[in-house]
Structures are given as C-alpha cells and as structure tokens.
Amino acid sequence: MVFTLVLLPIIALIELGGWDRATSSVISEHINHLSILGGKSGMLAALSVISGLAWGFGYMGQPHLLARFMAIEKPDDLRKGAVIGISWAVLAFWGAMFIGLFGIALFQSEAIVDQEKVMPLMATELLPGWLAGILISGAIAAMMSTADSQLLVTTSAAAEDIYHNFINKDASEQRLVTVSRVITFAVGVAAFFIALFSKDLVFTMVAFAWSGLGAAFGPALFLTLWWQKTTREGVFAGMLVGSIVVIIWHFTPALTSLLYEMVPAFILSLLSVWLVSLATYKK
C-alpha cells in the first residue's frame, strides 16, 4: 500500500513535466469547476474543507483501529505505536490526495467517467502491465485489511460481548467458535449483497460507515479517557444521539450535500455525553 501511494504520484509528476506544470493544470481545472458552481463557491469550498477535516474525528470511534492500540502490552510501546500510525497516515493520505490531483491534470475531470478508477487508470497508463498490476493490488490489500479487521471486531463483539456475557454465560470454547463462524459468515454475506445492489459510490458507503462509528463511539471514548465524571448513562446517550444524527443527516439530501454528517453528529454526541454525565454523576 505504501509502495503504491508513494510511487504512483511521483511517476505522475514526472509524466506531467514537473511540479509547476502539474499544479497549473490542477488549478485551471478547479477554476473551471468553481465557475460552474457560481456565487456559492466560497461557502461550498469552506464547508468542503470542514467536511474533509472532520474525517479525523472518526478515528477515535473505529473499533478495528482502536483494537490495535488496545492490544499493546506495555504503556512504553504506545509512543512507538503512535509514531508508526501517524507516519503511515502521512504517507498514505498525502499520496492518495496527490493521486487524485494529478489524475485531474493527466486525464481532465470530464474524461474520468468513474472517479474511483483514477488510481488503476493512472497505473495502467503510466506503467508496464506487470508493475501496474502490483500497484493496483495495493488498493485491494487496503480493502482486504480493513474488511477482515471489521469482520473480526464485529464477530468478537457479537459472540463474546453479547452472546457469552448475556445469552449463554456457560458456553464452551467450541460453542463460541461455532457462533463466531456463523456470525462472520452472516455479516460477510450481508455486506456482499449490500455492495452488490447499492448504487452509491464505494466512497459514499465508506464515509457513511466511518461517520456512524466515529460519532457513536468517538466522543464517548474521548470523554471516558479524559474526563473522570463521564458516566455510563452519558456514554449510552452519546452513542444513541451520534447514530441517530448520522442516519437522519445522511438520508436528507439537502443536508448531506452541504456538510459531512460527521460534523453535526460528533458535536451533538459529545454534548450528549457531557450533559447526561453531569446530570447522572455521583461521587
């Protein structure tokens, strides 16, 4: 994944003839786009920037990412884990951003029918087939690493936290393994059919899931770690409010076209945890 996200933008930059020519092409394309938007472009641009930055809030609520830090055995290793995580994020996200920007300069925005195919299109256009195949497999690796992590976290939550703790506390190890396998299969099949019949872009579906998890769990986790007066009732309220706001905002076109649902959902969830905790806190 790192190889793909670092190497491909560099090759595209060379193909475009250097930084100055690449940036001038990208800027001219964006000016054309803004002229189409008309007088509202300034406000839309500001909301777009806010929406993009709001993705950072989602990290605090992603179980498949938090599990990595929860699995660290020694507190001394937390700093090392943070350095590794941030270093990877810088390489990956800057690389992905430049692939998108240089894709605009290479192909022009009108020529890209499916925006989500910019990376494989760029790889096949600029590289020999065998190398393009390796780089495209980097995207598949990213999808697989996320998908299997989410499957495992979902299975663990359902089999251990719900089934074992509330339904069958005396379940044997073999029983739990069987339940886990059934849940993994069921979730996988459900996800397959959602992807098969959905008309949304992959990015749209990922953004929806990211905001749902981020707004439901992020504020609750943040305040649990940093505010000693956080209560169980406050956490529950935050999870409920965050989830509901994300769903309502996402399925209201007038709202979701203006601002990413993470922004209002995270803020309202944070306020819910804080206010309900104040109301229910006992020393």
Residue by residue, DSSP assigns the chain as -HHHHHHHHHHHHHHHTSHHHHHHHHHHHHHHHHHHHGGGHHHHHHHHHHHHHTHHHHGGG-HHHHHHHHT-SSTTHHHHHHHHHHHHHHHHHHHHHHHHHHHHHHH-GGG-SSGGGHHHHHHHHHS-HHHHHHHHHHHHHHHHHHHHHHHHHHHHIIIIIIIIIII-TT--HHHHHHHHHHHHHHHHHHHHHHHHH--S-HHHHHHHHHHHHHHHHHHHHHHHHH-TT--HHHHHHHHHHHHHHHHHHHT-HHHHTTS-THHHHHHHHHHHHHHHHHHH---
Mean pLDDT of 126-148: 86
Q: Is residue 173 part of a domain?
A: yes
Residue 277 pLDDT exceeds 80: yes
Would the pLDDT of 37 be above 60?
A: no
Is residue 38 predicted with pLDDT exceeding 60?
Answer: no
Q: Is the confidence at residue 220, as pLDDT, over 80?
A: yes
pLDDT confidence of residue 237: 97
The CA distances from residue 222 to 133, 209, 219, 238, in Å, are 41, 19, 5, 11
Is there a domain that residue 133 lies in? Answer: no
Query: Are 97 and 167 part of one and the same domain?
Result: no
pLDDT digits (tens, 9 = 90+) for 94-117: 998 898 888 888 887 666 677 788
Whole-number mean pLDDT of the chain? 86
Domain count, the chain: 3
Residues 45 and 109 in one domain: yes
Lowest mean pLDDT among 107-116, 173-182, 220-229: 107-116
- Whether residue 212 is contained in a domain is answered as yes
Rounded mean pLDDT, 88-93: 88
Asked, for residue 243, whether it belongs to a domain, the answer is yes
Residues 46 and 2 in one domain: yes
Residue finishing a domain among 197, 226, 243: 197
Same domain, 206 and 172: no
- Among 98, 127, 156, residue at a domain's last position: 127
Within a domain: 136:
no
Supply the pLDDT for residue 265: 96
**241 closest CA partner among 265, 222, 264, 260:** 265
Residue 260 pLDDT greater than 90, yes or no = yes
149 and 180 share one domain = yes
User: Do the beta carbons of residue 124 and residue 106 sit within 8 Å?
Assistant: no
Same domain, 37 and 118: yes
Q: What does pTM read for this prediction?
A: 0.78
List, for residues 230-240, the tens digit of each pLDDT value. Answer: 999 999 999 99
Residues 90 and 152 in one domain: no
Q: What is the pLDDT of residue 40?
A: 54
Task: Assess whether 180 and 120 both reside in one domain.
Answer: no
What residue numbers bound the domain in which 55 lies?
1-127
Position 32 scores a pLDDT of: 60
Is residue 267 included in any domain, yes or no? yes
Which structure tokens are listed for 138? 């980097």
pLDDT for the residue 41: 64
Residue 134 falls inside a structural domain: no
137 falls within a domain = no
Across the range 236-264, mean pLDDT stands at 94
